[in-house]
Amino acid sequence: MPKYVIERDIPGAGKMTPDQLQEVSQKSCGVLRKLGSEIQWMQSYVTDDKVYCVYVAPSEDLIREHAQQSGFPATRISKVAQIIDPTTAE
């Protein structure tokens, strides 16, 4: 199944409290449950004004549907072409 990186412009994201992060995570997971098992949130990286999320989904359209229903912007959606890590050098 394809993997996607979603860039979300969220001003002040890096200043969110643990309670706020829990709240937005719960909202996201609630929408994911409604959309079914084909879409899965793997993890997210929170920076000052952006959140980078990694999802597995059959299509970019399903990622956009999640963004619309959850209210979280999907500024850019990029399909992962390859994955490398330090073991790739071996």
Q: Tens of pLDDT along 22-40?
A: 999 999 999 999 999 999 9
Where residue 54 falls among pLDDT bands split at 50, 70, 90?
very high
Asked if the structure places residue 87 within a domain, the reply is no
Nearest CA-CA partner of 10 in 24, 22, 27: 24
Asked if the structure places residue 88 within a domain, the reply is no
Domain tally, the chain? 1
Q: Which amino acid is at 77?
A: I
DSSP result, 42-54 = EEEEE-SSEEEEE
Predicted TM-score (pTM) of the model is 0.92
Asked if the structure places residue 42 within a domain, the reply is yes
**In this structure, what CATH number is given to the domain that contains residue 73?**
3.30.70.3090
Asked if the structure places residue 70 within a domain, the reply is yes
> In which element (H, E) is residue 75 found?
none
Asked if the structure places residue 86 within a domain, the reply is no
Residue 74: give the domain boundaries: 3-81
